[in-house]
Amino acid sequence: MKSFLTILKWVAASFSLLVICFIVFVSARGGRTFEAPLPDLIASKDSAAIARGKYLVYGPGHCATCHMPMEKFDKVEAGAEIPLMGGWELAIPPGTFRAPNLTPDHETGIGTFSDGELARAIRYSVRKDGSALFPFMPFQDMSDEDIVAIISFLRSQPPIDNFVEETELSFMGKAAVALGLIGPVYPTTTPPRAVKIDSTLEYGRYVANAIANCRGCHTTRDLKTGAFIGDDFAGGMIMKDDPMAHGYSFISPNITPHPTDGVMTNWSEATFIHRFKSGRIHKGSPMPWGAFAIMTELELKAVYRYLQSLEPAPGKFTKTVFAPGEAVPG
């Protein structure tokens, strides 16, 4: 009996030591920096580049839904082009994340960022100081030309003095960084220099994956790390605790052309375009319907073509919208 107790004490002591080592490890490595390449891209003053950047920011890229004070959300949804002064905040288990001010203000915005540092944040999800951003922004495969367009537009905005508190990682978030579960995100292939804008399937693939985050929301993901764990575009991502959702929760629907499980079964191209042009139906839905309503018909045709070309993946969600207080499965 005595020896059993001794063993138990040793086990407890070793376990405590392990826990202490892990805490020390996490505090040492939880804010570590990474060596991601600095893209050799330079902002331009060309009016066509700035116009393309503005379209991407307020339209398909929907940067304004996050990089904005939350009380301005309704105005942004209605199409107001307010400078990206930052402010959206999301408190989830890995931390409290805040979308920073992206206007050229020197104290509170991107005034001191180089073009390369801005492009690196967008392409590799790395902060100016080299630490990792949480993967909210799936722009890794965006073309050089479109990143240049976006940073050219960002630089063209009036500087707005709006201090946004820094993101704070929880112990879980720091552990994920320390263990390498959160770090820079890399393009799937060498990003294209430019992409031809047309109503083609190829352009649709580019918009759905590299700009509009259709894949990011319509695929099941690990909520602790953001990792993709379900079939692409088959839905199932649970979205709750969003401060903008008025207490509602959502499960993204399957948008692959699956004959029984896909939400777009029997949708013609015209139905799809009409759905996008008519904006939000569900109060609090995280899908940026307002921003997508300004997408051009040509771009929507391309996205429709691409979605129709996908491998039909199973996954049916009889309910995708949950009222405040209603239990969300999963």
User: Which residue ranges make up the site for ligand HEC (CB under 6 A)?
Assistant: 57, 61-63, 65-67, 97, 99-100, 102, 118, 121-122, 127-128, 133-134, 136-137, 139, 150, 167, 208, 212-214, 217-218, 239, 250, 252-253, 255, 263-264, 275, 281-282, 285-287, 292, 303, 320-321
Q: How far is the CB of 213 from ligand HEC (least distance, A)?
A: 4
Whole-number Cα distances in Å, 44 to 25, 48, 81, 127, 153: 43, 10, 20, 22, 9
Structure tokens at 139: 């722009």
Nearer CB in complex with ligand HEC: 46/109: 109
Nearer CB in complex with ligand HEC: 21/257: 257
Q: How far is the CB of 25 from ligand HEC (least distance, A)?
A: 21
Q: How far is the CB of 153 from ligand HEC (least distance, A)?
A: 9
- At 89, the amino acid letter reads E
Candidates 105, 106, 89; CA nearest to 97 is 89
* Three-state secondary structure call for residue 98: strand
Burial class (CB in 10 A: 0-12, 13-18, 19+), 18: exposed
- C-alpha 315/C-alpha 60 separation (Å) is 26
Q: How far is the CB of 16 from ligand HEC (least distance, A)?
A: 32
Nearer CB in complex with ligand HEC: 203/292: 292
* Three-state secondary structure call for residue 133: coil
Nearer CB in complex with ligand HEC: 65/152: 65
Nearer CB in complex with ligand HEC: 85/102: 102
Nearer CB in complex with ligand HEC: 14/271: 271
CA atoms in the 13 A half-sphere facing the CB of 38:
10
Nearer CB in complex with ligand HEC: 3/318: 318
Q: How far is the CB of 329 from ligand HEC (least distance, A)?
A: 15
- C-alpha 281/C-alpha 283 separation (Å) is 6
Q: Are 288 and 62 in contact (CB under 8 A)?
A: yes
Q: How far is the CB of 137 from ligand HEC (least distance, A)?
A: 5
Q: How far is the CB of 22 from ligand HEC (least distance, A)?
A: 22
Nearer CB in complex with ligand HEC: 21/42: 42
Q: How far is the CB of 242 from ligand HEC (least distance, A)?
A: 9
Map tokens 């948008």 to a residue: 255
Dihedral over Cα of 276, 64, 75, 247: its sign: positive
* Three-state secondary structure call for residue 62: coil
Q: What's phi and psi for 31, nearest 5 deg?
A: -120, 25
